[in-house]
Amino acid sequence: MLLKVGELAKRCGLTVRTLHHYDRIGLLTPSARADNGYRLYGRSDIARLHQILALQRFGLSLAEIGACFAQPGTSLTTILTQQIAMLDQQITQASRLRAQLAGLQGSLLDGVEPELADWLTTLELMTMYDNYFSQDELARLPMLGNGEAAEAQWRALVGQVRGLMESGVAPEHEAPRQLAVQWMSMLVRDTGGDPRLVAKLNLMHEQEPALQTRIGISTALRDYVLRAFSESKMLIYEKYLSAEEARFMRAHYVQTALDWPPLLAEVRDAIDADVAPASPQGIALGRRWLALFQRYAGDSPATQLKFRTAMEQEPELLAGTWADDRMFAFIRQAMAAMMQQQS
Amino acid sequence: MLLKVGELAKRCGLTVRTLHHYDRIGLLTPSARADNGYRLYGRSDIARLHQILALQRFGLSLAEIGACFAQPGTSLTTILTQQIAMLDQQITQASRLRAQLAGLQGSLLDGVEPELADWLTTLELMTMYDNYFSQDELARLPMLGNGEAAEAQWRALVGQVRGLMESGVAPEHEAPRQLAVQWMSMLVRDTGGDPRLVAKLNLMHEQEPALQTRIGISTALRDYVLRAFSESKMLIYEKYLSAEEARFMRAHYVQTALDWPPLLAEVRDAIDADVAPASPQGIALGRRWLALFQRYAGDSPATQLKFRTAMEQEPELLAGTWADDRMFAFIRQAMAAMMQQQS
DNA sequence: CTTGACCCTGACCCAAGGTCAGGCCCTAAC
DNA sequence: GTTAGGGCCTGACCTTGGGTCAGGGTCAAG
């Protein structure tokens, strides 16, 4: 019962080349050779080949199959769980991509077929997002999924704000202020209240000029909104401050606005990772928080107290800020630990 | 706004080598070079890169992406449907494999952990099946899925038959006959009544000696069953035949038994493919059917009529045969067309 | 004796880059 | 001035699982 290579190949539905390959890499060496050099496969070789094919069908690479034979310590359950896990990952990944493509296809079916070139620029944006956000974060960015409704809302808002800015209306006026508050509220909503997402959005917006032109939000426009939004907050704080304190705040508040989201993001990460507020890492965050706060509140504890009072009295101050009670609690504890340490 | 290769790579989360590669294969050639030979990527290059990455994320190969750019005739919908179809296929395939592995794993959890070597021989059988059956057919082979119950049933039956055979009991005796009828009925059940599956099973069994030793069914055993089963049919036919006719039948019936399944399989294929019975292909099948029938029924129309009468009177004759009314109807029409043609 | 079907080895090929090697360019620090 | 480090260049070899020759030997049938 010795088979030549071609016979074995036919019987197993393989090519001769494949068997040559297995021979070369030492996975299946025929147990005999004829005098003329022909490979002769015996019964045990055939059995081994079947086993190889079985493991291959499981998705193992030839190298892994070789390892299985080399050390018989490997248990089948290990192999199975491993391969199943791999398949699961593969399946979820493919399904996610499929869902994305199907969504895209759905949005294509309604309207006119656009030019490929137009779509490519849209896709350009998609990869940009991919670049800054993990798959997980993308799924949590409601902005993208909401599609139509949210997008129209944003387009309208951006248009209004740009109208005001281009007409020369100062951002401190009431109309820009109201739009800015709406802007931030929508942003909070569309980031699911997660400061990490908004920090990354800001980063992306800053680093991708192409994005700015595409969605129509230049850095100038963003600064305009930022100033208007800051003004809306400062108008409230002012009621609690002396003229001198208000002057200081007005000189520095706007510049700190963009620094908050990254810090909030880090605090949120720390909370999610169960970092203790009193730990060195927690205290470092508290220190940075305090520094940022002092940049517009100043060094005087009395003034700082006024800000805190304002914040407690006026819940409106928290609107559009991505800060919540959990984060405040964390920072309070971190600062307490900080004081303790210093004294 | 010209970026060096390292800068672009960092911004897009790629490696320098990847950009070199894209340059070499002409997918993304930087629009400028510095005096020192450095690649300089402009704004349009960046846009193109983003588009490349988007299409790549869809699962297109670099060659396909290049083709997209080369001829702008390709529509996005085409690409999307194509990729979705590919993903679907990928997903179903992975899911099917996963289900198989999970099933295997489940059957492992109950019992003791067997040796890897033992399992490999089991896997050997699995690939053997793979070799003879398509994935689709495997799923339709209830034999494999039923596992425990059916397998135990088969083991018991095989054991009983072997016991009789080894004790020297002639297959024509009543005990073997009854077991043979049971055998064929189970086979019909476990092939879902599909003659194509049983034809392939027979083929596999004949060509794989390893399989025979593994499941304990030698060709001798199979012939024993076949003879017993034939006997059970012939006893019925005999009641309708003269002594001479019966002698002819007894001399030839058993030898035709193994030729029926392949023919039935082809007829079934023809029906599924909507082949007309009166077409040349249908008539050819009718001719082969008739030839097979005449091998044990003889040439005399009168004798043949007796067989047909028997078949109509004794529904038991159809048990364990994979033939059904649809197939008889097809063959009847084919033969009618055949007669018409000859006259 | 030829022809066709097998067999052998050796070699190059694919996709999508990874990983050096050898050498040039530029900047900053000494 | 020079030297160290980092970035850039090209070229070349490596990966998986074989496909696809090329050049030459072997065997059986006609």
Assess whether B89 (CB) lies less than 7 A from strand C: no
Average pLDDT of chain B is: 85
Q: What percent of chain B has pLDDT over 90?
A: 33
* Chain centroid, CA A230 distance in Å: 27
Report the complex ipTM: 0.71
CB-nearest to A75 from B43, B59, B116 is B116
CB-nearest to B117 from A72, A125, A126 is A72
Residues A296 and A147 reside in one and the same domain: yes
Tokens 């399904």 belong to residue: A95
B12, B122, B124, B206: best mutation site toward chain A, by most A Cβ within 10 Å? B124
Strand, coil or helix: B41:
strand
Q: Which residue has the higher pLDDT, B5 or B221?
A: B5
Which chain A residue has its CA at the smallest distance from B101's CA? A80
**Chain A residues 70-109 with CB within 8 Å of chain B:** 72, 74-77, 80-81, 83-84, 87-88, 90-91, 94-95, 97-98, 101-102, 104-105, 108
Give the mean pLDDT of B333-337: 89
> Closest residue by Cα to the C1' atom of nucleotide C6?
A6
Residues A236 and A159 reside in one and the same domain: yes
CB-nearest to B54 from A11, A72, A124 is A124
Segments forming the whole domain that contains residue B279: 140-342
pLDDT at B119 over 80: no
Q: Is residue A115 part of a domain?
A: no
Of the three residues B47, B70, B93, the one that is the final residue of a domain is B70
Whether residues B121 and A207 touch (CB distance < 8 A) is answered with no
Q: Which residue has the higher pLDDT, B262 or A108?
A: B262
Of the three residues B70, B85, B116, the one that is the final residue of a domain is B70
The distance (Å) linking the CA of A131 with the C1' of D4 is 34
Whether residues B101 and A87 touch (CB distance < 8 A) is answered with yes
> Is the CB of residue A278 less than 8 Å from the CB of residue A337?
yes
pLDDT band at B248 (very low <50, low <70, confident <90, very high): very high
**How far does the CA of residue B62 sit from the closest CA of chain A (Å)?**
15
Q: Is residue A157 part of a domain?
A: yes
Whether residues A105 and B116 touch (CB distance < 8 A) is answered with no
Q: CA quadruple A234, A239, A240, A244: dihedral positive or negative?
A: positive
Residues A60 and A95 reside in one and the same domain: no
List CB contacts (< 8 A) between A124 and chain B: 47, 50-51, 54
Residues A176 and A62 reside in one and the same domain: no
Listed residue (A243, A236, A221) closest to A320, CA to CA: A236
Q: Is residue A132 part of a domain?
A: no
Give the mean pLDDT of B72-98: 87
Assess whether A37 (CB) lies less than 7 A from strand C: yes
Assess whether A214 (CB) lies less than 7 A from strand D: no
- The enclosing domain of A13 has a CATH number of 1.10.1660.10
Residue B107 pLDDT:
72
**How far does the CA of residue A219 sit from the closest CA of chain B (Å)?**
17
Give the mean pLDDT of B219-236: 90
A75, A98, A135: best mutation site toward chain B, by most B Cβ within 10 Å? A98
Low-confidence ranges of chain A (pLDDT < 50): none
Residues A332 and A183 reside in one and the same domain: yes
Residues A44 and A84 reside in one and the same domain: no
Residue A190 pLDDT:
84
Residues A319 and A285 reside in one and the same domain: yes
Residues A94 and A168 reside in one and the same domain: no
Residues A320 and A181 reside in one and the same domain: yes
Residue B233 pLDDT:
92
pLDDT at B150 over 80: no
Q: Is residue A266 part of a domain?
A: yes
Query: The tokens of A314 are what?
Result: 């006026």
pLDDT band at B266 (very low <50, low <70, confident <90, very high): very high
pLDDT at B210 over 90: no
Tokens 């492992």 belong to residue: B108
Residue A214 pLDDT:
66
Q: Is residue A274 part of a domain?
A: yes
**How far does the CA of residue A261 sit from the closest CA of chain B (Å)?**
21
Domain count, chain B: 2
Q: Which of A289-293, B101-105, B286-290 has the lowest mean pLDDT?
A: B101-105
Q: Is residue A290 part of a domain?
A: yes
Residues A148 and A190 reside in one and the same domain: yes
The distance (Å) linking the CA of A62 with the C1' of D17 is 9
Flag residues 74-133 of A with CB < 7 Å from strand C. Answer: none
pLDDT band at B184 (very low <50, low <70, confident <90, very high): very high
Q: Is residue A126 part of a domain?
A: no
Of the three residues B32, B54, B70, the one that is the final residue of a domain is B70
Residue A41 sits at φ, ψ, to 5 deg, of: -100, 125
Question: How far is it, in rounded angstroms, from Cα A180 to Cα A174?
Answer: 10
Per-residue model confidence as pLDDT tens digits over A93-152: 899 889 888 877 877 776 666 666 666 667 777 777 777 777 677 777 766 555 567 777
Residue B324 pLDDT:
86
pLDDT at B326 over 80: yes
Which chain A residue has its CA at the smallest distance from B42's CA? A210
Q: Among the residues of chain A, which ranges form H helices? A: 5-12, 16-24, 43-57, 62-70, 76-110, 116-132, 135-140, 142-146, 148-166, 174-190, 195-207, 209-215, 219-238, 243-257, 260-272, 280-297, 301-313, 325-342
Residues B66 and B151 reside in one and the same domain: no
Residues A251 and A163 reside in one and the same domain: yes
Q: Is residue A251 part of a domain?
A: yes
**How far does the CA of residue B108 sit from the closest CA of chain A (Å)?**
8
Query: The tokens of A98 are what?
Result: 């499929």
